[in-house]
Amino acid sequence: MRVIVILVPSSSSIVTPPNPSRHNHHYTHLLKASKSRIPNLSPSNLPPPPWSSSRSPPLSTALRWDPTKTHPRSLADFANNLARDGKLVDFAMVVETVADSGVEASQFKSALRADFVEKGLSEFLRDGKVQSFVNVLNKLDEFGFPPLEIFTGSAMDLLRKECRGILKCREVDELVELVEVLAGFGFSIKELMKPSDVIKVCVQKRKPKMAIRYACTLPHAHMVFCDTIYEFGKKGDLESALTAFEFAKKNSNSINMYLYRTIIDICGRCHAYQKSRQIYEDLLSQKVTPNVYVVNSIMNVNAHDLSYTFNVYRNLQNLGVEPDMASYNILLKACCLAGRVDWAQDIYKEVQHLESSGLLKLDVFTYSTIVKVLADAKLWQMALKVKDDMLSAGVTPNTVTWSSLISACANAGLVEKAIQLFEEMLLDGCEPNSQCCNILLHACVEASQYDRAFRLFESWKRNRVQDMPEDDKENRASNASSGITTARSRSSQLYGLNFAKELSFMPTVATYNILMKACGSDYYHAKALMDEMNTMGLSPNQITWSILIDICGSSGNIEGALKILRTMREAGIEPDVVAYTTVIKVCVENKYMKQAFSLFAEMKRYQIQPNLVTYNTLLRARSRYGSSLEVKQCLVVYQDMRRAGYRSNDFYLKQLIEEWCEGVIQCDNQNQEEFSSSMTDTERPQSLLLEKVAEHLQKNIAESLTIDLQGLTKVEARIVVLAVLQVVKEKYSRGHIISDDMLITLGIGKVDTIPDELELGVKDAITKLLQDELGLEVLSKGLEIASNTQMYLESTNHSTSNSEYLGSNELPTERRPVVMQRLMVTRKSLRQWLYKRSSLRR
DNA sequence: TCCTGAGGTC
């Protein structure tokens, strides 16, 4: 079949439309250029053959010819000339025409000049016509002329430059699309660009999908998937890391364990523990058996949760996964974090047993971790015993092991022993790192041996090898070998070191922080150290500033402490919860409660979450409160604390409220011994009492005088009643009038059952308090209510248990009336009491 | 993996 084609560049499908923005185009849709858009022409309009000229003819006018009547070599010459002259669009059209004509193309193909085509393609790249470049590649590829055969060194260089240019402009989408096209032609993407550079830009621009698409073009895509997820995670961008993970999962045809390991590790890095568990459980629900690395990762990420970690471990058998040494080391780490010495010791014994059976080989991690567990538990002797174990097992302690051994002694307050171990480490040829030196310094500071800490620090600074001139170093070495060490030994003795080796000691921020702690209350010394830090090129961190605040505040300088907090923020270090807590502590210690509460409000404004220490610091401010306002303020903090999910420490607050409430009867009665002795009632949730007090302080008591004492002990009930009376008293002194009787609910019981002992105790104690101690008129009132009402009341609290209950056969027998036990204090006697109290005061 | 800062009735 004859095909006659009109070649009109301006209407062709492969012509690049002008575009002002170079890097703003999509190429992929051009991979399959439509041929149907090239119109056929009737044979009567055949043009003269255009290849008679040595120069390529202009194509501005329509050219028409019948390729079947032309020699393939002549066609090739024509095409070659077009390519050589940079008319590559036209060249491509000739190629396309030949392809479409049905003529024998092999001769034409063999006569094409790859060097000319390459030249033309290079020009496209030089001019930034990337889309045209891609279009031509498409055409050549369709024709069976793979672009890879055309490209030689120089064109590849240009292509590389072009890719780098796009990358430099951060046009990741465009680059990835081009790369995908090139990959389709078989180009080696790794040779065009450094994959890590592309991934970096994807991470910067938060384009996880582009990163994965790029990774798909590389031969080791799976590895690059993981690198990508890791890079996102390192930047703290968990969302993108997860997107990349999901996308990578879809683009993998098999389950890639390394991918799961990576995302689980990244979840750990980003503190998304629940997410890591979800991913792991998803894997299990697909009936996939994870490998030991995935299992170790999930355990490691969740090592702070001992029970979860152990559950995963216990499940290993069901899964048929064999734990390795790392699995056991992670279990030890979990015990270490949870402070479970007993469990750690059991595991240690078990792995030792496994080792003796030849199933495992304990490594330096195992020993270091168990040493740390023992060190934290102040079991220094056992820690030293582990050192012997490891030496006899032929495992050499590393810096971390030595550090843990030293901190074992340091934690037990044994500075001498710690220093002795430090020397032993040097003799053993183990180079201490900064952290290790810091542990030793910290040991001195903890034992209040401040001078010793400073002397050690100075000696290490002097011994720094890299600070010495070369010949000085040589002198030292030759002195050491010839035994001329007198001067040095003397100075070493002075610093408590019998062996002073040149240390590659480099102080860190932590070093200076420890030394600042050693300044006690000497603010100027601490400040000088902070300045020295700066000259050493170290930046003070949040800890540094907090220490400075503490030192300044310790001399009662509240203004100074507050000022440092501001300076800290100005210096670009955002104060954290500890910095705020430190300033709050300073205020509380100096009884500046208003300032303390104001700082508390300020930190909340900055969205810094107070923690248990902050709350306890504030609530510890149990100075005598004169009014319900201050107690209220305290209770607000208390309730805030409970809302934040902290188990409240009610001791101080309970005492505070007690003192405040007892103020009601202070002048009337001194007989309170019985109550204070029974205060330590830890059986019941103490918070209930405080909730009741808070509730009564916060609602408008003048409206309805009702007190609910259900579930409280008699001491707690006493406090609640007194708290309400205290509020009533304060309101009365401000002019409020009592218009109602006071109703006190004691409990709900069935009509013909005897109230329990506790309830009777409360009733007696409260009646005694109101009648005998305060002289109020008290009436006992039983209010009968239907049993289904009681069930309704119960169901509001225990919906699930109630439904179970409803389903049982016992239901009909329970339909008995119940009684609400109440006490009533008459309005008249309350008024008399208030009047008597106020006249007493006058 | 190891170091440094704030709180403390039992």
Q: What is the pLDDT of residues A411-441, one digit of tens each?
A: 888 999 999 999 999 999 898 889 899 999 9
* Nearest nt (C1') from A575 Cα: B5
* CA–CA dist A596, A614 (Å, integer): 11
pLDDT the model gives residue A240: 94
Q: Residue A478 pLDDT > 50, yes or no?
A: no
pLDDT tens for A183-208 read 888 888 888 889 999 999 999 999 99
User: Nearest residue to B4 (CA, C1')?
Assistant: A510
- In the structure, what pLDDT confidence band is assigned to residue A254 with cuts at 50, 70 and 90? confident
User: Nearest residue to B9 (CA, C1')?
Assistant: A651
Query: In CATH, what is the architecture of A551-667?
Result: Alpha Horseshoe (1.25)
- Distance in Å, residue A517 CA to nucleotide B3 C1': 14
- Sorted by sequence, the CB contacts under 8 Å of residue A619 that are 6+ apart come out as A634, A637, A638, A641, A649, A652, A653
Q: Residue A680 pLDDT > 60, yes or no?
A: no
User: Nearest residue to B7 (CA, C1')?
Assistant: A613
pLDDT over 70, % of chain A: 74
- Distance in Å, residue A339 CA to nucleotide B5 C1': 22
Domain boundaries, chain A: 441-466+501-540, 551-667, 687-784+817-841
- Distance in Å, residue A649 CA to nucleotide B7 C1': 11
- In the structure, what pLDDT confidence band is assigned to residue A751 with cuts at 50, 70 and 90? low
- Distance in Å, residue A342 CA to nucleotide B4 C1': 28
pLDDT over 90, % of chain A: 39
- Distance in Å, residue A541 CA to nucleotide B6 C1': 15
- Distance in Å, residue A418 CA to nucleotide B4 C1': 18
- Sorted by sequence, the CB contacts under 8 Å of residue A804 that are 6+ apart come out as none
pLDDT the model gives residue A424: 93
User: Nearest residue to B5 (CA, C1')?
Assistant: A543
Q: Residue A282 pLDDT > 90, yes or no?
A: yes
User: Nearest residue to B2 (CA, C1')?
Assistant: A400
pLDDT the model gives residue A492: 43
Residue scoring higher pLDDT (A437 or A808): A437
What is the helix (H) or strand (E) element at residue A750, kind and residue range?
strand A742-750
* Nearest nt (C1') from A542 Cα: B5
Q: Which of A140-144, A453-457, A511-515, A647-651 has the lowest mean pLDDT?
A: A647-651
- Distance in Å, residue A105 CA to nucleotide B1 C1': 68
* CA–CA dist A5, A9 (Å, integer): 12
pLDDT tens for A334-367 read 999 988 999 999 999 999 999 999 999 999 999 9
- Distance in Å, residue A273 CA to nucleotide B4 C1': 26
- In the structure, what pLDDT confidence band is assigned to residue A601 with cuts at 50, 70 and 90? very high
pLDDT the model gives residue A666: 57
* Nearest nt (C1') from A329 Cα: B1
Q: Residue A76 pLDDT > 70, yes or no?
A: yes
Six-digit token string for A168: 């430099």
pLDDT tens for A783-804 read 766 555 444 444 444 433 333 3
pLDDT tens for A630-644 read 677 777 787 788 788
- Distance in Å, residue A617 CA to nucleotide B7 C1': 5
pLDDT the model gives residue A563: 96
Residue scoring higher pLDDT (A542 or A807): A542
Residue scoring higher pLDDT (A725 or A261): A261
* Nearest nt (C1') from A682 Cα: B10
What length does chain A have? 842
A687-784+817-841: which CATH topology?
Ribosomal Protein S8; Chain: A, domain 1 (3.30.1370)
pLDDT tens for A8-49 read 333 333 433 333 333 433 444 444 333 333 333 333 333 334
Whole-number mean pLDDT of chain A? 78
Q: Which bases of chain B come closer than 7 Å to a protein CB?
A: 1-10
Residue scoring higher pLDDT (A497 or A136): A136
User: Nearest residue to B10 (CA, C1')?
Assistant: A680
pLDDT the model gives residue A276: 94
- Sorted by sequence, the CB contacts under 8 Å of residue A221 that are 6+ apart come out as A215, A251
pLDDT tens for A127-176 read 878 888 888 888 888 887 777 777 777 778 888 888 888 888 888 898 99
pLDDT the model gives residue A181: 87
* CA–CA dist A594, A583 (Å, integer): 13
Question: What strand order describes the sheet that includes A706-708?
Answer: A706-708, A742-750, A818-825, A778-785
Closest among A803, A819, A835, A669 to A754, alpha carbons compared:
A819
What's A749's DSSP letter?
A: E
pLDDT the model gives residue A386: 94
Residue scoring higher pLDDT (A261 or A103): A261
Residue scoring higher pLDDT (A563 or A780): A563
* Nearest nt (C1') from A398 Cα: B2
* CA–CA dist A263, A241 (Å, integer): 7
- Distance in Å, residue A568 CA to nucleotide B2 C1': 29
- Distance in Å, residue A800 CA to nucleotide B9 C1': 38
User: Nearest residue to B8 (CA, C1')?
Assistant: A616
What is the helix (H) or strand (E) element at residue A708, kind and residue range?
strand A706-708
* CA–CA dist A229, A202 (Å, integer): 11
pLDDT tens for A537-593 read 999 999 999 999 999 999 999 999 999 999 999 999 999 999 999 999 999 888 888
* Nearest nt (C1') from A649 Cα: B9
* CA–CA dist A219, A176 (Å, integer): 15
Q: Residue A813 pLDDT > 90, yes or no?
A: no
pLDDT the model gives residue A619: 81
Note whether A212 and A251 are within 8 A (CB): yes
pLDDT the model gives residue A51: 41
